[in-house]
Structure 1
């Protein structure tokens, strides 16, 4: 599955960085149409996480993953067949649905394969993901130097072919132990009605806090580039360099950091340094507006490093707690609901960081403080649940993805 992730992210790196340009220059869509297409497909994609998770508790996981990869390939190839707005909108929505569902199910597969070693398994997987994304992005940047319609189409074709490749790779993957009885019977491996995450108030509250903790994604995608663009004297070329810093740190440090979250209680304790890193990152961004160019560059770099540390710590915490709070009999359904946190952040994140930018330095201070306060809230929220009766696998150590 590690190779599946690597190939998948190469394809995503090829397409994600040029999708807006493709719809603008190849399909000829207006700015408003491109924005609406992205918003609608993203909204439809939100349903992919809970839908995929629910299905995974009823059918063999590898078969569902293969079907989803083929659906994603079909959607990507479909974009090549038309330049009309409505078909592009519908095809993009289907692709987004498949993308969000496959993301949750890949995580579920890792959890079932690794069992007690799931955190390190996911850490290695994330390292492969970042490496693949970087490789795809570099290939896309090289292709764009040609500036031709053909180059754009080949990048989209490469994305589609990556989905076909991972579907073939998934065929060779064994069904994970936790779903062996599902594969044999086509039903959930337990008697009685499985737990329903939508009626689990503690888990829903936990997912709500996760939406806030995922805001670091928007910091790197939108917040830092816009803040740099509107900061006098700061070179605009710093923005992509900070993204490179983020990527390098994740590749180098995500696996070593995973050792500190090998049990549910250990993962919960990581919320304290996560809180501190987020608050310090927001403060550094705020202070970057108070001095000269050199000070601003140093503080922006420090902020990027701090938010990257927060991102990696949250990844470890999230991998463990999202499963530790879920019953064995409904892990797919629970992970599907947890997937809504990241989907929701994609809608709320841009609004949050642009509000911080509009407010000025005080806005970034409040942004970091809000994430820090949410860490404290989550720490308290999950404490009693974990101590009373961990519904997932017992607290344990970790393996590879």
Structure 2
């Protein structure tokens, strides 16, 4: 990222050095392509593929099952293989699934390709998070804020293009948006191939001279420290935290699936808002995410910030419920208010989730732990579309009020659980900062 762009966005000095900056460029390209597609995903399957609303929700839900496997699989591989090579392979998978989707017809042809794309997407998300954590170290909260700013800048550019395309609304336009998304993954794969491997606490390669004997193989902390949990699946506290995050991550489906379909099927607001609210979301994140990174500045601050998360969950769902007003301008105002409220909760909750998911993970198994945490968002993407279309939207305004209460309750319960964990020091206590062993990489 050039210094001029950095200053224009008021972004502070970027942690992570050249590799950190290179990954920001990768995220910018990736999310610009994704912005073309995400805001019209549900509409594509309705308008182009000819599926009804229920079948679209089922398609996205079942396809998301593969994404559930992608997160822990990618995290486990990242503890054992070079992270950049795994990420390169994942980007190739994403490009392939998108290109094949252009030629697929019918529910059963679309399903495996949606599943493959979901697998790649969730794997890439975990791997990118691990890359950022490894190159940024103790500055991970600040790097995460900068990364989300760049990510949403990409989403904004792609979303604006999608919004303009929706004004035309032909099937050819929808296909072009999908093609642009697929080609962005090709470019990302080429950029990833040029990245250096970041340091890792579980994969250490030490440079040595001809006079030095070979260094013994590095062992993982899990074997050297029997008192620690043998892995995330044996850490009940971390699993409970991740499970509640999976509930809260439903806000993502509410914004990308539920709200667009709600606008088109249940409100008098202009249909173009289905993409415009996505642009509102990404623009606000670009402008405010770095400032709101303070909500995840430490594990305890992040835990206490969950009270604000609960409040914004209630406000966002209440505004969506109100959008059924028959007056066109009132419905439009309610939709925009809902998009803003969902954006605020996204910025705060993402900072909280980033900090807790990494700081609660012991250094000896960061990949595995963060991979298991990736199940939270993957599960939401699997269950969310079906829940939003079959329960929340079907129940009308009461469904949105119920969803808000569910999300707020999950946030408050998670706060209670995390604070108890912080107050009870143990092997996996969150107060211990994440450490990354310094290494010199050599062939």
Partner of residue 273, structure 1: 308
Q: For residues 56 and 268 of structure 1, what CA distance do their matches in structure 2 show?
A: 27
Q: Against the structure 1 CA distance between its residues 29 and 187, is the aligned structure 2 distance closer, same or farther, given a 3 Å change threshold?
A: farther
Stretch moving more, 12-21 or 320-329: 12-21
Q: How far did 1:82 drift?
A: 6.6
Counterparts of 1:98-109 in structure 2, within 5 Å, are 98-109=120-131
Q: How far did 1:246 drift?
A: 1.6
Stretch moving more, 97-106 or 314-323: 97-106
Q: For residues 91 and 181 of structure 2, what CA distance do their matches in structure 1 show?
A: 11
1:376 aligned onto 2:438: no
Q: How far did 1:377 drift?
A: 0.5
Stretch moving more, 239-248 or 250-259: 239-248
Partner of residue 117, structure 1: 139
Q: How big is each residue's C-alpha offset from its partner over 1:22-81, in whole Å with a ceiling of 9 and x where there is no partner?
A: 77888x776698766544432222211011111111122112112222232333444467
1:169 aligned onto 2:204: no
Q: How big is each residue's C-alpha offset from its partner over 1:146-172, in whole Å with a ceiling of 9 and x where there is no partner?
A: 9475x6665444333322322222233
Q: Against the structure 1 CA distance between its residues 64 and 306, is the aligned structure 2 distance closer, same or farther, given a 3 Å change threshold?
A: same
1:320 to 327, 331, 355: 355
Q: Against the structure 1 CA distance between its residues 166 and 111, is the aligned structure 2 distance closer, same or farther, given a 3 Å change threshold?
A: same
Q: How far did 1:268 drift?
A: 0.9
2:401 to 365, 373, 376: 365
Q: Against the structure 1 CA distance between its residues 288 and 44, is the aligned structure 2 distance closer, same or farther, given a 3 Å change threshold?
A: closer
Q: Is the 8 A contact 1:196 1:333 kept in 2?
A: yes
Q: For residues 364 and 34 of structure 1, what CA distance do their matches in structure 2 show?
A: 20
1:310 aligned onto 2:319: no
Q: How far did 1:223 drift?
A: 3.0
**SS of structure 2 residue aligned to 1:178:** coil
1:223 to 241, 244, 258: 258
Unaligned runs of 5+ in 2: 1-22, 207-215, 435-443
Q: For residues 175 and 398 of structure 2, what CA distance do their matches in structure 1 show?
A: 44
Partner of residue 192, structure 1: 223
1:253 aligned onto 2:288: yes
Give 1 or 2: higher helix fraction: 1
Q: Is the 8 A contact 2:37 2:178 kept in 1?
A: yes
Q: For residues 234 and 161 of structure 1, what CA distance do their matches in structure 2 show?
A: 33
Q: For residues 194 and 419 of structure 2, what CA distance do their matches in structure 1 show?
A: 40
**SS of structure 1 residue aligned to 2:376:** helix
Name the TM-score, length of structure 1 as normaliser: 0.84
Stretch moving more, 1-10 or 276-285: 276-285
Unaligned runs of 5+ in 1: 397-401
Q: For residues 316 and 403 of structure 2, what CA distance do their matches in structure 1 show?
A: 9
Q: For residues 30 and 380 of structure 2, what CA distance do their matches in structure 1 show?
A: 22
Partner of residue 73, structure 2: 51
Q: For residues 130 and 399 of structure 2, what CA distance do their matches in structure 1 show?
A: 37
Q: Is the 8 A contact 2:160 2:279 kept in 1?
A: no
Q: Against the structure 1 CA distance between its residues 369 and 186, is the aligned structure 2 distance closer, same or farther, given a 3 Å change threshold?
A: farther
Q: How big is each residue's C-alpha offset from its partner over 1:264-296, in whole Å with a ceiling of 9 and x where there is no partner?
A: 111111111111111233333445557855554
Q: For residues 152 and 226 of structure 1, what CA distance do their matches in structure 2 show?
A: 17
Q: For residues 302 and 84 of structure 1, what CA distance do their matches in structure 2 show?
A: 36
1:10 aligned onto 2:10: no
Q: Against the structure 1 CA distance between its residues 369 and 10, is the aligned structure 2 distance closer, same or farther, given a 3 Å change threshold?
A: same
Q: For residues 87 and 290 of structure 1, what CA distance do their matches in structure 2 show?
A: 39
Q: Is the 8 A contact 1:58 1:186 kept in 2?
A: no
Name the TM-score, length of structure 2 as normaliser: 0.77
Q: Is the 8 A contact 1:119 1:261 kept in 2?
A: yes
Partner of residue 356, structure 1: 392
Q: Is the 8 A contact 2:422 2:431 kept in 1?
A: no
Q: How far did 1:332 drift?
A: 0.9
Q: For residues 233 and 157 of structure 1, what CA distance do their matches in structure 2 show?
A: 31
